[in-house]
Chains A and B, each alone.
Chain A
Amino acid sequence: MDQLYGISLYVISLLTFGGIYAVMALGLNVQWGFTGMFNAGIAGFFAVGAYTSAILTTAASERHIGGLDLPIILGFIAAMITAGIIAYGVAKICIRLRSDYLAIATLGIAEILRLMFKNETWATNGPRGVSLIPKPFETLPEPWNHIAFMALVLLIVFGLYVLLERARKAPWGRVMAASRENEAATRAAGKDVDRLRIEAFVLGSMFMGLGGALTAHYLKFIDPNAADPLTATFLIWVMLIVGGSANNKGAIVGAILIWTIWSATELLTSRLPDELAIRTAYVRVFLIGLLLQIVLQRFPNGILPEQREKALRAEREPQSQP
């Protein structure tokens, strides 16, 4: 019985983490899936969101600035706004860069942001991180606190999903898709492609900031290590590509599936014989890499490929190289 209860709790945590990643994967989908912008700096916006919310909602502390003890919901909103403002600045400068260049520019910017969070100790407590971050529903008894938090995350995911589906079908989304397919024609039709792309970049980054804030409150702690490019940028890319780029359902499914693989493989490898002792942890990383290769070869368009009119897709195939 305990066993079953424990496993349910673990599934809840998988859905919570997976849901938080889904928020960020949806944000990435706005940027890459719909608009074709290769943002490799997710970790930067994640960190901005996480620290903004953490600094505003914690109680006063001598270790970092802020400590305003604001309601958590204000933290979320502020996280999205701050991430959005920074994204606007980045977009203004970088928006005309083509995909690979944009990727590396954003990667560099994210690293610089991470170094700032690490080095500006007076503001962020540097590498020691911000602790004692309040968590929504933490006063509820076990297991309701976990369930309530999961419900909050999934509700946010659902809300964003509905929002994005509407945007995708609205003129805004259609122009966006058109500009991804044929930028010149879209410009010729009198659309301000640059403005649309900036809007998409800012919107997606706001989701990433929200994902960061949710993470900070879920962990009750944030430090620069939480924003390392491996788990805060590349993993989200894997989620979107495996799930199905340009498909919002795909982004959500990919996030939860990949997180489950990332996390649950350990339950298998920790069962390996003791003689291998610590080395089993490396086997797990190997398995993750291998699974990724298999999915890429089996489902090159993702598990849930983009849903579009057949004619359009046929037209798109030949020029699949961005």
Chain B
Amino acid sequence: MTSTIKRLTMAASAFALMAGTAQAADINVGSVAGVTGPIAELVAPIVAGRNLAAEHVNAQGGLLGGDNYNLILADSQCDPKAGVDAGGKVVNVEQVVAIIGASCSGATNGMVQSVTIPAGVVSLSDSATAPSITDLEDGDLVFRVAPSDAYQGLAIAQLAIDQGYKKLAMTYANDDYNAGIAAVFEQAFQDLGGEITANQAHEPNKASYRSEISTLSGNDAEGLAIFAYYGGSGITIIRNSLENGLFDKFMAADGMFDASVIEQIGADILRDNIFITQSASDYADDSYKAFAEAFEATGNDPIAPYAAHGYDASFLLALAIEKAGSADRGAIGAALREVASGPGTVIRPGEWEKAKAAIAAGEDINYEGASGNVDFDEAGDVGGIYSVNTVGDDGNWETNLIQ
């Protein structure tokens, strides 16, 4: 047995060596994402966002002395086993400076606890929203630009109350992301004096939700709060509700925020009947516009869920490396905090040259991201600033910041 294992080990290391040789001028950052898992369709635009930031950095002078900002993609499959494996690969074999990812909360949870925290590598998640990540004792190594759902559940509940809803039915896709927001929303809405008439989990990816919705629709519910991904079940639920006249008012969290909701259901029927929250900076502001324009030019939809967060995570790590002055794992965490929040020169998406010059001149900088102001709190989370999205007159999503 030993000889076989030895041979295997040798083969594996030779293999890894061959694969692991990086060009001298590359600074590697791990880009861990659930590319082939159950939410592959959501992950693709997020990865595109990360890659766009890297393009911006490399097109405007690169990192430090002109080094190439190189994102190394690893697949977390939305599965903690694969997340740990993917994290281990980029940390150990590819020798990355830091990690973006790993998409799903479960995969992220496994990866940071088992790989990045022990190895002392900073990880910056762009879509893991589970509150349990806040609880980790991470030695200031785990950051998120995606707000914990604790915030968003509150925001939706408050909005619903503000708009005069008293009785709501709710349903959530039974996955790590949506179940979390739903739990917070249920509590918050009741605390604010509302009544939940019915609350049901559903399995995503079913062909029909007519039976579920018909059960939910009793008890004078005034609307339906949907916590689901648009592709998994969200669109189907809205479609089934409207087609059968069961519900006509909807509210949802950012997993539903996508252009395809309007495309597939129709703008007229949704106008005034739906609102979706999303964590955001002031959408009218330059940060979002800068990102949106560049992202659209690459053939992607800028409002795809968490694409802006992907961009911000990727851009922030580049800034942190620049600020730290070297591709040194240990220095990234502190530098990340410095570049993310004020005071300092405001940097927006795409403004790499400006940032580079400011850092070189020894100035403080403050990145204001496309997804929000990305000021990290003590736990490495960002606070929740949300926008509310409704269907505008032009048939697109119209975004307003919640003050």
Contacts and interface: CB of A to CB of B under 8 A. Distances in A.
Interface stretch (B111-119, B254-262, B341-349, B372-380): B111-119
B109 A221 contact: yes
B180 to A, nearest CB: 6
A166 to B, nearest CB: 16
Given A218-B114, A281-B35, A10 B73 contact: no
Interface string A239-262: 000000000010011001100100
Nearest to A142: B118
Nearest to A138: B118
A9 B116 CA distance: 13
A131 interface: yes
A23 interface: no
Interface stretch (A31-39, A91-99, A264-272, A292-300): A264-272
A274 B132 CA distance: 34
Nearest to A146: B118
A13 B92 contact: yes
A2 interface: yes
B192 interface: no
B215 interface: no
Contacts, number: 177
A265 B74 CA distance: 11
Given A17-B85, A220-B110, A222-B80, A128 B74 contact: no
B13 A15 contact: no
Contacts of A280: 73
A301 interface: no
Interface stretch (B3-11, B244-252, B263-271, B392-400): B3-11
B136 interface: yes
B340 to A, nearest CB: 25
A228 interface: yes
Nearest to B83: A219
A307 interface: no
A292 to B, nearest CB: 16
A182 interface: no
A119 B91 CA distance: 34
Contacts of A186: none
B231 interface: no
A322 interface: no
A215 B8 contact: no
Contacts of A121: 179
A252 B11 CA distance: 17
Interface stretch (B15-23, B153-161, B216-224, B286-294): B15-23
B79 A127 contact: no
Interface in A84-139: 118-119, 121, 126-129, 131-132, 135, 138
B228 to A, nearest CB: 13
B75 A266 contact: yes
Interface in A6-41: 6-11, 13-15, 17
A300 to B, nearest CB: 20
Given A7-B17, A253-B4, A264-B16, A219 B84 contact: yes
A144 to B, nearest CB: 11
B168 interface: no
Contact of B109 (A7, A131, A249): A131
B376 to A, nearest CB: 21
B51 A10 contact: no
Interface in A23-62: none
A136 B177 CA distance: 29
B326 interface: no
Interface in B79-106: 79-82, 84-86, 88-89, 91-95, 104-106
Contacts of A264: 12, 15-16, 19
Interface centre among A2, A7, A278 (most CB of B within 10 A): A278
B114 A220 contact: yes
B5 A128 contact: no
B47 A271 contact: no
B13 A11 contact: yes
Contact of A129 (B8, B16, B95, B106): B106
7 contacts: A9-B92, A121-B179, A128-B105, A129-B105, A221-B80, A225-B78, A281-B75
8 smallest beta-carbon distances between A and B, as pairs: A267-B19, A220-B113, A281-B35, A6-B92, A223-B106, A219-B110, A10-B92, A9-B92
Interface of B: 1, 4-5, 8-9, 11-13, 15-17, 19-20, 35-38, 43-44, 47-48, 51, 72-75, 77-82, 84-86, 88-89, 91-95, 104-107, 109-110, 113-114, 118-119, 130, 132, 135-136, 174-176, 179-180, 201
Given A131-B132, A219-B84, 7 more contacts: A3-B95, A7-B17, A10-B16, A128-B130, A225-B107, A253-B8, A267-B20
